């Protein structure tokens, strides 16, 4: 059993839900109370950290919450600066602002759409506390270069891997390489719990700090009931959500393979046109969460016209993320050439586990016609 689009609509994304997810969720609703109220949460955390190859995991209500608690655990606060890419969804930068720190926006590389290490190095100041590496749309940041910069300047390297389940950097999974990583299980993601996220780390001390923060500031082992040692957070995932996540983790290889199948079909149909798509450099694997096309600068392109054509044909399309520097909350801020060019000349294509070959060709046909070619 899988979700299906009403009236033949091609959604930009949707989850793959089978009888396994339904059975686990029903069990959590029926029996997951009292002594079993954390059972699926603990199982989900165990499955995820084993998959990722990390020591610790804390399931959360969102990736934003995981980032917020992780940054708080690192002591990021007022007067600190955190460097991140200009082209990002607001969820990556919001925790920085919530903690009273200052986001420093820098440009991205034109091929990966992720942090430009040279721009990161140039932005380092005595106030820099961390670099936030966001693996955009499943594409991987240059973790070798960013790690070297972080070590050189004594700052934390954080991974926002919300969109990068299934992506691998030279044998290491996205999210497992920084001081901590954060993932999203929103309904649009490769695996889902409806809403949800997870904090992961190999740092034992950071884990204990974040574990305390995640429970309203109550430390593990505290013998006094309801005694918080500090002000904490409430970003917990529910047992029912975690039950769905457990089923998804049992199917994770299948789900990532489905994303890669869809991307390859798009590339086969569109690869000869004047556009670029999500890269997969040698030594890496791209989980291809969101297949994206970037039209070459030399080609006339009317994004709104293409999105209107999609809409008339019951196809969902997504604009590329807006540069944060163009949003009212971050103005005035220098505009970055690559980030702003990408935003204007790129769109995300529909992508989900059971998208059919004929549906992919339907989408690709519109792209080809707008670029004067045939898929």
What pLDDT, in 10s, does the model give residues 138-189?
999 999 999 999 999 999 999 999 999 999 999 999 999 999 999 999 999 9
* Residue 94, Ramachandran bin (φ over 0: left; ψ between -120 and 50: alpha; else beta): alpha
Q: Which of 263, 316, 261, 270 is nearest to 8 (CA)?
A: 316
With a cut of 80, say whether residue 1 has pLDDT above it.
no
The whole-chain average pLDDT of the chain stands at 95
60 and 168 assigned to the same domain: yes
131 and 263 assigned to the same domain: no
Query: Which residue in the block uniquely carries the two structure tokens 């690709």?
Result: 364
Range of the domain at 270: 252-370
Q: Are strands 56-60 and 197-201 parallel, antiparallel or unpaired?
A: antiparallel
* Residue 201, Ramachandran bin (φ over 0: left; ψ between -120 and 50: alpha; else beta): beta
> How many distinct structural domains can be found in the chain?
2
209 and 238 assigned to the same domain: yes
- Amino acid 8: pLDDT: 84
57 and 167 assigned to the same domain: yes
Query: Model-level pTM greater than 0.75?
Result: yes
Could you tell me if residue 27 is inside a domain? yes
Could you tell me if residue 375 is inside a domain? no
What CATH number does the domain containing 300 carry?
Answer: 3.90.1150.10
Measure Cα distances from 93 to 82, 146, 157, 180, 229 in Å: 9, 18, 15, 16, 28
What pLDDT, in 10s, does the model give residues 6-54?
458 999 999 999 999 999 999 999 999 999 999 999 999 999 999 999 9
- Amino acid 331: pLDDT: 75
Could you tell me if residue 278 is inside a domain? yes
């Amino acid at each position: 059993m899988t979700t299906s689009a009403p009236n033949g609509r091609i959604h930009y994304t949707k989850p793959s839900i089978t009888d396994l997810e339904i059975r686990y969720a029903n069990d959590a609703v029926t029996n997951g109370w009292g002594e079993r109220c954390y059972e699926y949460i603990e199982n989900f955390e165990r499955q995820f950290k084993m998959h990722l190859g990390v020591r610790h995991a804390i399931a959360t209500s969102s990736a934003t919450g995981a980032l917020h608690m992780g940054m708080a655990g690192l002591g990021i606060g007022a007067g600190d600066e955190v460097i991140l890419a200009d082209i990002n969804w607001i969820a990556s930068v919001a925790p920085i602002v919530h903690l009273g720190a200052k986001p420093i926006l820098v440009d991205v590389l034109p091929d990966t759409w992720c942090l430009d290490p040279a721009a990161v190095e140039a932005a380092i100041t005595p106030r820099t506390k961390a670099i936030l590496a966001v693996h955009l749309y499943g594409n991987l940041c240059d973790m070798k270069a960013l790690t070297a910069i972080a070590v050189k300047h004594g700052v934390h390297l954080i991974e926002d891997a919300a969109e990068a389940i299934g992506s691998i950097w030279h044998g290491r999974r996205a999210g497992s390489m920084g001081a901590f990583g954060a993932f999203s299980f929103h309904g649009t993601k490769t695996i889902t719990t409806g809403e949800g996220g997870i904090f992961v780390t190999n740092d034992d001390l950071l884990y204990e700090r974040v574990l305390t923060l995640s429970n309203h500031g109550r430390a593990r082992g505290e013998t006094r009931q309801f005694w918080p040692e500090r002000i904490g957070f409430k970003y917990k995932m529910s047992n029912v959500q975690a039950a769905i996540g457990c089923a998804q983790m049992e199917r994770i290889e299948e789900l990532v393979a489905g994303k890669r199948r869809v991307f390859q079909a798009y590339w086969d149909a569109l690869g000869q046109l004047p556009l670029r798509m999500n890269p997969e450099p040698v030594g890496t694997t791209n989980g291809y969460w969101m297949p994206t096309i970037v039209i070459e600068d030399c080609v006339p392109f009317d994004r709104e016209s293409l999105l209107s054509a999609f809409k008339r044909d019951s196809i969902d399309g997504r604009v590329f993320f807006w540069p944060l520097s163009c949003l009212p909350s971050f103005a005035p801020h220098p505009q970055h050439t690559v980030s702003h060019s990408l935003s204007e000349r790129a769109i995300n294509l529909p992508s989900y586990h059971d998208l059919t070959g004929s549906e992919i060709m339907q989408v690709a046909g519109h792209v080809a016609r707008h670029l004067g070619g045939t898929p």
